[in-house]
Protein backbone atom coordinates (compact mmCIF):
# COMPACT_ATOMS: atom_id res chain seq x y z
CA UNK A 1 0.00 0.00 0.00
CA UNK A 2 1.29 3.47 -0.89
CA UNK A 3 1.91 5.63 2.16
CA UNK A 4 0.40 9.01 1.25
CA UNK A 5 1.58 12.58 1.48
CA UNK A 6 -0.86 14.56 3.62
CA UNK A 7 -2.12 17.87 2.24
CA UNK A 8 -4.30 20.23 4.26
CA UNK A 9 -7.37 21.73 2.56
CA UNK A 10 -8.28 25.40 3.08
CA UNK A 11 -12.02 24.72 2.83
CA UNK A 12 -12.57 25.58 6.50
CA UNK A 13 -10.92 28.99 6.31
CA UNK A 14 -12.38 29.85 2.91
CA UNK A 15 -15.83 29.33 4.45
CA UNK A 16 -15.14 32.12 6.96
CA UNK A 17 -16.01 35.60 5.72
CA UNK A 18 -13.71 37.71 7.88
CA UNK A 19 -11.00 38.17 5.22
CA UNK A 20 -13.52 39.72 2.88
CA UNK A 21 -13.73 42.88 4.98
CA UNK A 22 -9.99 43.68 4.99
CA UNK A 23 -9.99 45.26 1.55
CA UNK A 24 -13.05 47.36 2.44
CA UNK A 25 -11.43 48.58 5.66
CA UNK A 26 -7.89 49.04 4.38
CA UNK A 27 -8.68 50.24 0.86
CA UNK A 28 -6.53 47.52 -0.75
CA UNK A 29 -6.22 43.73 -0.49
CA UNK A 30 -3.77 42.40 2.06
CA UNK A 31 -0.85 40.64 0.30
CA UNK A 32 -1.34 37.50 2.39
CA UNK A 33 -4.76 37.61 4.02
CA UNK A 34 -6.97 37.67 0.94
CA UNK A 35 -9.22 34.94 -0.48
CA UNK A 36 -7.72 35.15 -3.98
CA UNK A 37 -4.31 33.95 -2.76
CA UNK A 38 -5.89 30.93 -1.06
CA UNK A 39 -8.16 30.10 -4.01
CA UNK A 40 -5.46 30.36 -6.69
CA UNK A 41 -2.85 28.34 -4.82
CA UNK A 42 -5.29 25.59 -3.92
CA UNK A 43 -6.94 25.69 -7.33
CA UNK A 44 -3.79 24.68 -9.18
CA UNK A 45 -3.15 21.51 -7.19
CA UNK A 46 -6.81 20.55 -7.40
CA UNK A 47 -7.03 21.11 -11.16
CA UNK A 48 -3.80 19.24 -11.89
CA UNK A 49 -5.15 16.20 -10.06
CA UNK A 50 -2.59 16.35 -7.24
CA UNK A 51 -5.32 16.07 -4.63
CA UNK A 52 -6.36 12.63 -5.88
CA UNK A 53 -5.38 9.48 -3.95
CA UNK A 54 -3.49 7.26 -3.47
CA UNK A 55 -0.34 9.40 -3.42
CA UNK A 56 -1.87 12.49 -1.78
CA UNK A 57 -4.39 12.37 1.05
CA UNK A 58 -6.33 15.61 1.58
CA UNK A 59 -6.93 16.32 5.24
CA UNK A 60 -9.18 18.98 6.83
CA UNK A 61 -7.71 21.86 8.80
CA UNK A 62 -8.76 22.04 12.44
CA UNK A 63 -8.49 24.79 15.03
CA UNK A 64 -5.62 24.51 17.47
CA UNK A 65 -6.68 24.49 21.10
CA UNK A 66 -5.70 27.17 23.58
CA UNK A 67 -3.57 24.58 25.44
CA UNK A 68 -1.65 23.94 22.22
CA UNK A 69 -1.19 27.64 21.43
CA UNK A 70 0.12 28.39 24.91
CA UNK A 71 2.91 25.85 24.53
CA UNK A 72 4.68 28.87 23.00
CA UNK A 73 2.45 31.93 23.09
CA UNK A 74 1.68 33.96 26.21
CA UNK A 75 -1.89 33.25 27.40
CA UNK A 76 -2.73 36.96 27.59
CA UNK A 77 -1.61 37.37 23.98
CA UNK A 78 -3.81 34.47 22.83
CA UNK A 79 -6.77 35.95 24.71
CA UNK A 80 -6.15 39.36 23.15
CA UNK A 81 -6.14 37.87 19.65
CA UNK A 82 -9.47 36.22 20.43
CA UNK A 83 -10.77 39.63 21.51
CA UNK A 84 -9.53 41.13 18.21
CA UNK A 85 -11.38 38.45 16.32
CA UNK A 86 -14.60 38.82 18.29
CA UNK A 87 -14.71 42.62 18.34
CA UNK A 88 -13.11 43.40 14.98
CA UNK A 89 -11.85 46.78 16.21
CA UNK A 90 -9.97 46.18 19.45
CA UNK A 91 -6.24 46.82 19.45
CA UNK A 92 -3.17 46.83 21.67
CA UNK A 93 0.06 48.11 20.17
CA UNK A 94 2.19 46.12 22.57
CA UNK A 95 0.97 42.96 20.80
CA UNK A 96 1.54 44.30 17.28
CA UNK A 97 -1.83 44.69 15.52
CA UNK A 98 -3.21 46.62 13.85
CA UNK A 99 -0.54 47.20 11.21
CA UNK A 100 -0.48 47.10 7.39
CA UNK A 101 0.77 43.49 7.51
CA UNK A 102 -1.31 42.37 10.50
CA UNK A 103 -4.71 44.02 10.23
CA UNK A 104 -7.49 43.49 12.73
CA UNK A 105 -10.53 41.83 11.18
CA UNK A 106 -13.57 39.88 12.31
CA UNK A 107 -12.97 36.28 13.40
CA UNK A 108 -9.25 36.65 12.65
CA UNK A 109 -8.42 34.35 15.57
CA UNK A 110 -10.20 31.48 13.81
CA UNK A 111 -8.04 31.78 10.68
CA UNK A 112 -4.91 31.71 12.80
CA UNK A 113 -6.03 28.78 14.92
CA UNK A 114 -6.83 26.73 11.81
CA UNK A 115 -3.38 27.26 10.30
CA UNK A 116 -1.71 26.18 13.56
CA UNK A 117 -3.96 23.16 13.98
CA UNK A 118 -3.18 21.94 10.45
CA UNK A 119 0.58 22.21 10.99
CA UNK A 120 0.36 20.37 14.31
CA UNK A 121 -1.61 17.57 12.66
CA UNK A 122 0.91 17.39 9.82
CA UNK A 123 3.83 17.05 12.24
CA UNK A 124 2.10 14.52 14.50
CA UNK A 125 0.77 12.50 11.56
CA UNK A 126 4.25 12.15 10.08
CA UNK A 127 5.90 11.50 13.46
CA UNK A 128 3.40 8.71 14.19
CA UNK A 129 3.93 7.13 10.76
CA UNK A 130 0.45 7.72 9.35
CA UNK A 131 1.85 9.76 6.45
CA UNK A 132 5.03 9.47 4.40
CA UNK A 133 5.40 13.24 4.68
CA UNK A 134 3.06 16.23 4.79
CA UNK A 135 2.58 19.69 3.32
CA UNK A 136 0.46 22.41 4.92
CA UNK A 137 0.23 25.13 2.26
CA UNK A 138 -1.19 27.76 4.57
CA UNK A 139 1.26 27.42 7.43
CA UNK A 140 4.69 28.90 7.96
CA UNK A 141 4.05 31.96 10.16
CA UNK A 142 7.65 32.22 11.25
CA UNK A 143 7.66 35.89 12.34
CA UNK A 144 5.18 35.59 15.21
CA UNK A 145 6.85 35.94 18.61
CA UNK A 146 5.67 34.75 22.00
CA UNK A 147 3.58 37.89 22.55
CA UNK A 148 3.73 39.83 19.29
CA UNK A 149 2.39 39.62 15.75
CA UNK A 150 4.45 40.80 12.77
CA UNK A 151 4.89 40.25 9.06
CA UNK A 152 1.44 38.73 8.35
CA UNK A 153 2.02 36.32 11.26
CA UNK A 154 -0.15 36.28 14.37
CA UNK A 155 0.55 32.79 15.73
CA UNK A 156 3.71 30.80 15.04
CA UNK A 157 2.54 27.40 13.79
CA UNK A 158 6.15 26.35 13.17
CA UNK A 159 7.12 26.75 16.83
CA UNK A 160 3.89 25.41 18.32
CA UNK A 161 3.96 22.26 16.18
CA UNK A 162 7.61 21.58 16.98
CA UNK A 163 6.87 22.06 20.70
CA UNK A 164 4.15 19.42 20.33
CA UNK A 165 6.64 17.13 18.57
CA UNK A 166 9.16 17.58 21.39
CA UNK A 167 6.49 16.54 23.89
CA UNK A 168 5.72 13.48 21.78
CA UNK A 169 9.38 12.57 21.22
CA UNK A 170 11.53 14.30 23.88
CA UNK A 171 14.86 13.23 22.36
CA UNK A 172 14.03 14.19 18.78
CA UNK A 173 16.64 16.16 16.81
CA UNK A 174 14.97 18.69 14.54
CA UNK A 175 16.27 20.56 11.52
CA UNK A 176 14.20 23.67 10.84
CA UNK A 177 15.07 24.76 7.30
CA UNK A 178 13.71 28.16 6.25
CA UNK A 179 14.01 29.18 2.58
CA UNK A 180 11.45 31.98 2.80
CA UNK A 181 12.98 35.25 1.54
CA UNK A 182 12.49 36.81 4.99
CA UNK A 183 14.50 35.75 8.03
CA UNK A 184 12.67 33.27 10.27
CA UNK A 185 13.13 35.44 13.33
CA UNK A 186 10.26 34.16 15.47
CA UNK A 187 11.21 30.51 15.11
CA UNK A 188 14.89 31.29 15.70
CA UNK A 189 14.04 33.17 18.91
CA UNK A 190 11.97 30.26 20.25
CA UNK A 191 14.86 27.79 19.97
CA UNK A 192 17.86 30.10 20.33
CA UNK A 193 19.32 28.15 23.27
CA UNK A 194 18.21 24.67 22.20
CA UNK A 195 20.83 22.33 20.64
CA UNK A 196 18.11 19.86 19.70
CA UNK A 197 16.67 22.25 17.12
CA UNK A 198 19.05 23.40 14.39
CA UNK A 199 17.50 26.42 12.66
CA UNK A 200 18.91 27.34 9.26
CA UNK A 201 17.48 30.38 7.48
CA UNK A 202 18.64 31.46 4.01
CA UNK A 203 17.16 34.85 3.21
CA UNK A 204 17.56 38.31 1.75
CA UNK A 205 19.18 40.91 3.98
CA UNK A 206 19.58 44.56 3.07
CA UNK A 207 19.06 47.99 4.59
CA UNK A 208 15.50 48.22 5.91
CA UNK A 209 14.42 44.81 4.62
CA UNK A 210 11.98 43.10 6.99
CA UNK A 211 12.57 41.92 9.69
CA UNK A 212 16.08 43.44 9.68
CA UNK A 213 17.54 40.45 11.55
CA UNK A 214 19.34 37.29 10.47
CA UNK A 215 23.00 38.27 10.33
CA UNK A 216 25.66 35.58 10.45
CA UNK A 217 26.60 36.58 14.00
CA UNK A 218 23.22 35.34 15.32
CA UNK A 219 24.36 31.80 16.14
CA UNK A 220 22.47 30.95 19.34
CA UNK A 221 23.34 31.17 23.00
CA UNK A 222 24.31 28.85 25.86
CA UNK A 223 23.91 25.18 24.89
CA UNK A 224 22.32 26.37 21.64
CA UNK A 225 25.40 28.24 20.46
CA UNK A 226 26.06 27.19 16.89
CA UNK A 227 22.55 25.84 16.37
CA UNK A 228 21.08 29.01 14.87
CA UNK A 229 22.48 29.53 11.39
CA UNK A 230 21.72 32.47 9.14
CA UNK A 231 22.69 32.79 5.49
CA UNK A 232 21.97 36.40 4.49
CA UNK A 233 22.06 37.14 0.77
CA UNK A 234 22.16 40.51 -1.00
CA UNK A 235 19.38 41.77 -3.28
CA UNK A 236 19.55 40.48 -6.88
CA UNK A 237 21.12 37.16 -5.86
CA UNK A 238 20.34 34.67 -8.64
CA UNK A 239 20.06 30.87 -8.90
CA UNK A 240 23.81 30.30 -9.22
CA UNK A 241 24.90 32.29 -6.17
CA UNK A 242 21.95 31.08 -4.09
CA UNK A 243 22.75 27.47 -4.81
CA UNK A 244 26.44 27.99 -4.08
CA UNK A 245 25.54 29.23 -0.59
CA UNK A 246 23.09 26.36 -0.07
CA UNK A 247 25.59 23.66 -1.02
CA UNK A 248 28.50 25.25 0.86
CA UNK A 249 26.59 25.76 4.14
CA UNK A 250 23.29 23.90 4.38
CA UNK A 251 24.36 20.49 3.07
CA UNK A 252 27.46 20.06 5.29
CA UNK A 253 25.57 21.19 8.42
CA UNK A 254 22.65 18.89 7.63
CA UNK A 255 25.00 15.93 7.17
CA UNK A 256 26.90 16.74 10.37
CA UNK A 257 23.79 17.29 12.50
CA UNK A 258 21.89 14.19 11.32
CA UNK A 259 18.38 15.25 12.39
CA UNK A 260 15.51 12.86 12.98
CA UNK A 261 12.86 15.28 11.76
CA UNK A 262 13.04 17.98 9.07
CA UNK A 263 10.61 20.91 9.08
CA UNK A 264 10.86 22.96 5.88
CA UNK A 265 9.39 26.46 5.66
CA UNK A 266 9.37 26.75 1.87
CA UNK A 267 8.30 30.29 0.99
CA UNK A 268 7.87 31.34 -2.63
CA UNK A 269 8.93 34.95 -2.19
CA UNK A 270 12.58 34.48 -3.18
CA UNK A 271 11.29 34.05 -6.74
CA UNK A 272 12.12 36.87 -9.14
CA UNK A 273 8.42 37.70 -9.67
CA UNK A 274 7.68 38.42 -6.02
CA UNK A 275 6.58 42.04 -5.48
CA UNK A 276 7.84 42.34 -1.89
CA UNK A 277 11.43 41.09 -2.25
CA UNK A 278 14.50 41.35 -4.44
CA UNK A 279 16.06 37.92 -4.85
CA UNK A 280 16.02 36.59 -8.40
CA UNK A 281 15.38 32.86 -8.15
CA UNK A 282 13.60 30.94 -10.88
CA UNK A 283 11.42 27.85 -10.59
CA UNK A 284 14.53 25.79 -11.40
CA UNK A 285 15.95 26.51 -7.96
CA UNK A 286 12.72 25.53 -6.23
CA UNK A 287 12.74 22.24 -8.15
CA UNK A 288 16.34 21.68 -7.10
CA UNK A 289 15.56 22.59 -3.50
CA UNK A 290 12.69 20.13 -3.37
CA UNK A 291 14.66 17.28 -4.88
CA UNK A 292 17.65 17.95 -2.65
CA UNK A 293 15.53 18.09 0.49
CA UNK A 294 13.80 14.84 -0.48
CA UNK A 295 17.14 13.18 -1.24
CA UNK A 296 18.67 14.25 2.08
CA UNK A 297 15.59 13.10 4.01
CA UNK A 298 15.67 9.73 2.23
CA UNK A 299 19.38 9.16 2.78
CA UNK A 300 19.10 10.04 6.47
CA UNK A 301 15.85 8.08 7.02
CA UNK A 302 14.30 11.27 8.35
CA UNK A 303 10.74 12.60 8.62
CA UNK A 304 9.66 15.62 6.56
CA UNK A 305 6.94 18.24 6.93
CA UNK A 306 6.74 21.32 4.70
CA UNK A 307 4.73 24.50 5.16
CA UNK A 308 4.04 27.15 2.52
CA UNK A 309 5.24 30.36 4.15
CA UNK A 310 5.38 33.60 2.21
CA UNK A 311 4.98 34.54 -1.42
CA UNK A 312 2.92 37.44 -2.72
CA UNK A 313 2.51 36.74 -6.43
CA UNK A 314 -0.24 34.09 -6.20
CA UNK A 315 0.46 32.64 -9.66
CA UNK A 316 4.10 32.00 -8.73
CA UNK A 317 3.20 30.71 -5.27
CA UNK A 318 0.80 28.19 -6.77
CA UNK A 319 3.48 26.91 -9.14
CA UNK A 320 6.16 26.66 -6.45
CA UNK A 321 3.96 24.80 -3.99
CA UNK A 322 2.64 22.47 -6.71
CA UNK A 323 6.20 21.59 -7.74
CA UNK A 324 7.17 20.84 -4.14
CA UNK A 325 4.03 18.82 -3.44
CA UNK A 326 4.41 16.74 -6.60
CA UNK A 327 8.00 15.97 -5.69
CA UNK A 328 7.14 15.03 -2.09
CA UNK A 329 4.34 12.75 -3.28
CA UNK A 330 6.30 11.24 -6.17
CA UNK A 331 3.70 12.37 -8.73
CA UNK A 332 4.43 13.68 -12.22
CA UNK A 333 2.88 17.02 -13.11
CA UNK A 334 1.16 17.48 -16.49
CA UNK A 335 3.31 19.23 -19.12
CA UNK A 336 1.46 22.53 -18.71
CA UNK A 337 -0.81 24.16 -16.16
CA UNK A 338 -4.51 23.45 -16.76
CA UNK A 339 -6.30 25.91 -19.03
CA UNK A 340 -9.15 26.18 -16.52
CA UNK A 341 -6.71 27.36 -13.86
CA UNK A 342 -5.26 30.01 -16.16
CA UNK A 343 -8.79 31.16 -16.93
CA UNK A 344 -9.60 31.32 -13.20
CA UNK A 345 -6.52 33.47 -12.63
CA UNK A 346 -7.58 35.81 -15.43
CA UNK A 347 -11.06 36.17 -13.90
CA UNK A 348 -9.44 37.11 -10.59
CA UNK A 349 -7.27 39.75 -12.26
CA UNK A 350 -4.04 37.73 -12.32
CA UNK A 351 -1.88 37.21 -15.40
CA UNK A 352 -0.52 33.79 -16.37
CA UNK A 353 2.33 34.52 -18.79
CA UNK A 354 3.88 31.02 -18.98
CA UNK A 355 1.92 27.78 -19.13
CA UNK A 356 4.83 25.47 -18.27
CA UNK A 357 6.72 24.73 -15.07
CA UNK A 358 9.93 26.58 -15.88
CA UNK A 359 11.07 30.21 -16.18
CA UNK A 360 13.41 31.85 -18.59
CA UNK A 361 16.98 31.65 -17.20
CA UNK A 362 18.08 34.75 -15.34
CA UNK A 363 21.61 35.93 -14.56
CA UNK A 364 22.93 38.86 -12.59
CA UNK A 365 23.67 42.00 -14.58
CA UNK A 366 27.39 42.12 -15.41
CA UNK A 367 28.04 45.24 -13.35
CA UNK A 368 26.60 43.53 -10.22
CA UNK A 369 28.25 40.10 -10.54
CA UNK A 370 31.38 40.84 -8.51
CA UNK A 371 29.49 42.70 -5.76
CA UNK A 372 27.01 39.87 -5.21
CA UNK A 373 29.62 37.14 -5.49
CA UNK A 374 31.85 38.92 -2.96
CA UNK A 375 28.94 39.34 -0.55
CA UNK A 376 28.08 35.63 -0.80
CA UNK A 377 31.75 34.76 -0.36
CA UNK A 378 31.88 36.79 2.89
CA UNK A 379 28.76 35.05 4.20
CA UNK A 380 30.11 31.58 3.44
CA UNK A 381 33.55 32.36 4.90
CA UNK A 382 32.05 33.92 8.04
CA UNK A 383 29.75 30.97 8.74
CA UNK A 384 32.52 28.46 8.21
CA UNK A 385 34.56 30.31 10.83
CA UNK A 386 31.72 30.88 13.31
CA UNK A 387 29.61 27.74 13.10
CA UNK A 388 31.42 24.89 11.34
CA UNK A 389 33.90 24.15 14.17
CA UNK A 390 31.02 23.70 16.63
CA UNK A 391 29.71 20.90 14.41
CA UNK A 392 33.10 19.30 13.84
CA UNK A 393 33.43 20.71 10.32
CA UNK A 394 36.53 22.36 8.91
Which pLDDT band holds residue 364 (cuts at 50, 70, 90)?
confident
Which pLDDT band holds residue 115 (cuts at 50, 70, 90)?
very high
Query: What positions carry a catalytic annotation?
Result: 183
Q: Is 87's pLDDT higher than 60? A: no
What pTM did the predictor assign? 0.95
Q: What average pLDDT score do residues 340-352 get?
A: 96
- Neighbour-count burial for 264-281, b at 16+ CB within 10 Å, e otherwise: bbbbbbbbbbbebbbbbb
Within 148-214, strands assigned E span 174-178, 197-204
Q: Which domains does the chain have, with CATH numbers?
A: 5-391 (3.40.800.20)
Q: What is the pLDDT of residue 21?
A: 75
Q: What average pLDDT score do residues 15-24 get?
A: 78
- Neighbour-count burial for 328-344, b at 16+ CB within 10 Å, e otherwise: bbebebeeebbeebbeb
Peptide linkage before 366 cis (omega within 30 of 0): no
Residue pLDDT, tens place only, 208-256: 999 999 999 999 999 999 999 999 999 999 999 999 999 999 999 999 9
Q: Please tell me whether residue 46 adopts helix, strand or coil conformation.
A: helix
154 exposure class (CB count in 10 Å sphere: 0-12, 13-18, 19+):
buried
If one compares 166 and 26, the residue with the highest pLDDT of the two is 166
Q: What is the pLDDT of residue 232?
A: 98
Residue pLDDT, tens place only, 127-141: 999 999 999 999 999
Q: What is the pLDDT of residue 106?
A: 78
Residues 6+ away with beta carbon under 8 Å from 255: 296
Strand order in 133-136's β-sheet?
56-60, 5-9, 133-136, 303-307, 261-265, 174-178, 197-204, 228-233
Q: What is the pLDDT of residue 251?
A: 98
Amino acid sequence: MVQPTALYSPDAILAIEGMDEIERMEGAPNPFWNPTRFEVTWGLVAMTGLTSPPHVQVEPMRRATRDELTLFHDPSYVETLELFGNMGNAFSKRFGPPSPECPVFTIMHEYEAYTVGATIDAVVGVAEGRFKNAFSFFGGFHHALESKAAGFCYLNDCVVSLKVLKQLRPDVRILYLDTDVHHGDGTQAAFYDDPNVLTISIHEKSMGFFPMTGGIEEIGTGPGKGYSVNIPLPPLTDDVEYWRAFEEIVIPLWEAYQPDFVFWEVGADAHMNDPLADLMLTLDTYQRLSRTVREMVHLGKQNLVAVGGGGYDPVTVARVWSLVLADMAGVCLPPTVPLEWAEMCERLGLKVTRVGWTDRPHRIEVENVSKIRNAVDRTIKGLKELVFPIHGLT
